[in-house]
Structure 1
Amino acid sequence: MASQEFMKCLQYAAQKHSTQRRKDAQSTPYVNHVINVSTILAVEAGVADEAVLMAALLHDVVEDTDATFGDVENLFGADVCSLVREVTDDKSLEKQERKRIQIKKASKTTSRAKLIKLADKLDNLRDLQVNTPQGWTEERREAYFVWAKQVVDNLRGTNAQLEQQLDQIFRERNLL
């Protein structure tokens, strides 16, 4: 059963991402993605660590909304905030540099943050398998799969179930 803290976190994520949409043809509400990431961890990976599940809900909140790390820490504590900080890209950097840093940083993050990254990549790749985002070429879509594999390769040894599911996607794309 979900705790009051978890439900407060879910509501906060929903409120912060309420106006955002994914770039798929259906313009899916963005909050579905963060809920998917937390659900993948709880249901598919067997993660019971509530701080990890809460950080999964918040993994894009500082990067993509007006929320700050201070807000996250004040509302959900230092542990959740630390995890969110580990998985947040620095939006002041150019996109290619952020992607390069994500590959490099992946192996140096804590195992709890690696779980969030694996689930995030799994949800994004599942979506990309069936949807090409609006404005993306097929080349850009394929390049995302290649880049995601580089990130995942630096997260290996974290969770066998998630890694097996990611490897299945990479096999289907001839990346393994």
Structure 2
Amino acid sequence: MLDQAISFAARAHAGQLRKDGKTPYIAHPIRVMTILSCHFDIKDELILTAAVLHDLIEDTTRDYESISRHFGNDVADLVVAMSKDPRLPEQRREEEYHQQIAEAGWKAKLIKMADCLDNVQDAIDNSMQCRACDKARWALELIEENDPREVHQAAAILRDLLKSLQPA
């Protein structure tokens, strides 16, 4: 399933670039999946698949139905949880997005932390990095005491990165 998701996401993101204007966008979801696998030690194929697909609804023409048809409702539900509603005004959109990640459960929190980690590391200037760090701090606020060990380990990695970026 994961190899099919990578191809599906690569086709959906074809022609899109990261904010540097050079890097193919698909590098981001692949890095998010890699962070989950290599840094957060996640082996659950459902989580890794949703990570590769996490920006499809928000940034491509793919929708819940197409994701569900190819990868199942559990993956599609996680992708929806990772997607902002572009129809809403920005302030409300961000508030509702935060709420839906919180309500989506620990798997969505893991993907969000990997997404934040990649965005912090991939920022092309100080302004972008500051915004990415703010979003990472917000993601860390979602962690609850009863979240699984994997979530707390991922949070520790993200916290360490943020600490390393603070001026001494």
Provide the TM-score with structure 2 as the length reference. Answer: 0.86
Distance 1:143 1:9, change over 3 A: closer
Q: Which amino acid aligns with 1:23?
A: K
Residue 149 of structure 1 aligns with which residue? 137
Deviation larger for 37-46 or 88-97:
88-97
Where in structure 2 are there 5+ consecutive unaligned residues? none
Whole-Å Cα distance in 2 between the matches of residues 19 and 96 of structure 1? 29
Task: Report matched runs for 1:1-176 at 5 Å.
Answer: 5-24=1-20, 27-128=22-123, 131-132=124-125, 138-139=126-127, 141-155=129-143, 157=147, 159-174=151-166
Quote the offset at 1:151 in angstroms: 2.4
Mapped partners of 1:31, 1:140: distance in 2: 19
Deviation of 1:103 after TM superposition, in Å, equals 3.1
Dislocated runs of 4+, deviation >4 Å: 138-141
How many residue pairs get matched?
A: 163
1:17 alignment partner AA: H
Say if 1:54 and 1:140 are closer, same or farther in 2 by CA, change over 3 A. closer
Amino acid in structure 2 at the alignment position of 1:165: I
Could you tell which deviates more after superposition, 159-168 or 45-54?
159-168
Deviates more, 1:106-115 or 1:67-76: 106-115
Aligned equivalents of 1:68, 1:106: Cα separation in 2: 18
What is the distance in 2 between the residues matched to 1:7 and 1:119? 19
Question: Once the two structures are superposed, what CA deviation does each residue of 1:4-58 show, in whole Å capped at 9, x if it has no partner?
Answer: x22111100000001110012x521100000001111111111111111100010
Bigger relative contact order, structure 1 or 2, given CA contacts below 8 A and separation 6+?
Answer: 1
Normalised to the residue count of structure 1, the TM-score between the two structures is 0.82
Q: Percent identity?
A: 31
Pair 1:22–1:120, CA change in 2 (3 A): same
Give 1:167 deviation, angstroms: 0.9
CA distance in structure 1 between the aligned counterparts of 2:43 and 2:164, rounded to whole angstroms: 30
> Cα gap change, 1:93/1:162 in structure 2, threshold over 3 Å: closer, same or farther?
same
